[in-house]
A and B are shown apart, each in its own frame.
Chain A
Amino acid sequence: AQRVTQPEKLLSVFKGAPVELKCNYSYSGSPELFWYVQYSRQRLQLLLRHISRESIKGFTADLNKGETSFHLKKPFAQEEDSAMYYCALRGPSGSARQLTFGSGTQLTVLP
C-alpha cells in the first residue's frame, strides 16, 4: 500500500531562516512525488513535482529513493510562505493514478 508521512503538523520559523518540511513515503515501485500548497482561503495548488527538478518560489525538493524521502526546502523563508503544505505520491501510468496525500504541515513564518 502507498503511504505518505509528514511528521510535523506545525512548523514555525523566522523570516530569513532556512526551512525544511519533511516527507517520507512508502511505495513498492517508482512513484511520482509532489508538493501541494494551500494558502489561506485559497484552493490546493501544485507547488512542484520531482520529475521537473525545478525551483518554485525558492523551494526545492529532492527525491531520495534510498531514504524514501522528498523533503521540501527553502534557504530563506518569507512571510508569504506561511501556508499548509501537503506532500503527495502518485503511482505509475496505466492505473487511475490517484494522489495519496500526507496529513500536511502548517508552516508559519514569523516576522
Chain B
Amino acid sequence: ETGVTQSPTHLIKTRGQQVTLRCSSQSGHNTVSWYQQALGQGPQFIFQYYREEENGRGNFPPRFSGLQFPNYSSELNVNALELDDSALYLCASSPGGASGGNTIYFGEGSWLTVV
C-alpha cells in the first residue's frame, strides 16, 4: 500500500468555478506530478514539481496551476472550469530528484465533475 493520499475523492463544480485538489506525497518523496485521466483514456501528464518549483509541464493551459509545499504535499488548482475538465485527477510521487527517480507511486485520485 502506497502512502500517496488525495482529497477530496469526489466533487462537483459548476462551469466557470475554481477548484483545488490536494495531495500528500509518500514519505521521503520530493517529486510530485499530476495527471488528468478522462473517461476511457490513459492518464495525461499535467505538470511536475520538485523542491517547490515546477520543472515540467504537459500540454495544459495556464489555468491549470500547482503548488508544492516544504513538506512535499501539493495542490492542483484549476481556474475557470470547463465541462471538459471533468476527469479523474491523479497525484503521483517519486523519490530522488528533479528527474523523478525510478518508481512513481500513484494516489487513488480525485473525481471532478463539472456541470
Interface size on B, residues (CB 8 A): 26
Task: Tell whether A86 pairs with B2 under 8 Å between CB atoms, given A46-B103, A97-B100.
Answer: no
4 new A-B contacts at CB < 8 Å, known A43-B107, A95-B56, A98-B58: A90-B100, A99-B104, A101-B44, A102-B42
Whether B55 is near chain A, meaning CB under 8 Å from some CB there, is yes
In contact, A43 and B106 (Cβ under 8 angstroms):
yes
Interface on chain B toward A: helix, strand, loop, or mixed SS?
A: loop
Q: Mark B44-60, 1 if CB is under 8 A from A, else 0.
A: 11001000000111100
Chain A residues with Cβ under 8 A from B56's Cβ? 95-98
Q: Mark B26-57, 1 if CB is under 8 A from A, else 0.
A: 00000001010000111111001000000111
Q: Which residue of chain B lies nearest to A42 when distances are taken between CB atoms in the complex?
A: B108
Whether A93 is near chain B, meaning CB under 8 Å from some CB there, is yes
Q: Give the complex CA separation of A101 and B108 in angstroms.
A: 17
Q: Which residue of chain A lies nearest to B49 when distances are taken between CB atoms in the complex?
A: A96
Q: Which residue of chain B lies nearest to A84 when distances are taken between CB atoms in the complex?
A: B42
Q: Give the complex CA separation of A46 and B56 in angstroms.
A: 22
In contact, A101 and B55 (Cβ under 8 angstroms):
no
Q: Which residue of chain A lies nearest to B109 when distances are taken between CB atoms in the complex?
A: A43
In contact, B40 and A93 (Cβ under 8 angstroms):
no
Which 10 pairs show the lowest CB-CB distances between chains A and B? A96-B56, A101-B42, A98-B45, A97-B100, A44-B106, A96-B48, A93-B99, A43-B108, A103-B42, A101-B43
Interface size on A, residues (CB 8 A): 23
Q: Give the complex CA separation of A43 and B92 in angstroms.
A: 11
Whether A69 is near chain B, meaning CB under 8 Å from some CB there, is no
Task: Tell whether A43 pairs with B48 under 8 Å between CB atoms, given A95-B99, A104-B42.
Answer: no
Q: Give the complex CA separation of A99 and B104 in angstroms.
A: 9
Chain A residues with Cβ under 8 A from B19's Cβ? none
When the two chains form the complex, which single residue of A86, A99, A103 contacts B45, counting CB atoms closer than 8 Å? A99
Whether B98 is near chain A, meaning CB under 8 Å from some CB there, is yes
In contact, B42 and A86 (Cβ under 8 angstroms):
yes
